[in-house]
């Protein structure tokens, strides 16, 4: 199959460029949406923790080498109550993960 005319080749090239640009914009928008949701979660958690003056909980987050780590520092009592709550009300994946780490 031969190549098309120069105009057809240019049209094909431009269509491919437009498609790649559209895919890049969509990927960036999805990444922005994810970042926004994570930011909202951190803000909400910080608000919850700071409003409870009796709690020593603290939220710390760090991004390093494309990995987000969120640590929530709790007292021993808070930690045990949280684990119990997850065991009774959490998703199967989270429950199994906590059980594995308790071993």
CA dihedral of 45, 50, 54, 56, whole degrees rounded to 10: 70
pLDDT tens digits for range 54-99: 666 677 878 899 888 888 888 888 888 988 888 888 777 666 666 6
End-to-end alpha carbon distance in the chain: 64
Please report where in the chains the tokens 């308790």 appear, as a residue. 102
Q: How many residues are there in the chain?
A: 103
Stretch 33-61: mean pLDDT, rounded? 80
Percent of the chain whose predicted confidence (pLDDT) is above 90: 25
Q: How confident is the model at residue 101 (pLDDT cuts 50, 70, 90)?
A: low
Check residues 91 and 41 and name the one with the higher pLDDT: 41
Q: Where are the domains of the chain?
A: 1-51, 55-103
**CA–CA separation, 77 and 101 (whole Å):** 17
> What 3-state DSSP class applies to 10?
helix
Tokens of 25: 């914009």
Give CA–CA dist 37/89, Å, rounded.
23
């Amino acid at each position: 199959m031969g190549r098309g005319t120069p105009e057809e080749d240019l049209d094909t090239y431009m269509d491919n460029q437009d498609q790649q640009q559209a895919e890049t914009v969509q990927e960036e928008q999805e990444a922005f949406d994810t970042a926004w949701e994570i930011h909202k979660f951190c803000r909400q958690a910080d608000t919850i923790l700071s409003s409870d003056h009796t709690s020593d909980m603290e939220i710390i987050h760090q991004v390093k080498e494309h990995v987000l780590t969120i640590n929530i520092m709790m007292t021993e009592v808070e930690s045990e109550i949280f684990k119990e709550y997850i065991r009774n009300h959490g998703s199967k994946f989270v429950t199994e993960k906590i059980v594995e780490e308790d071993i």
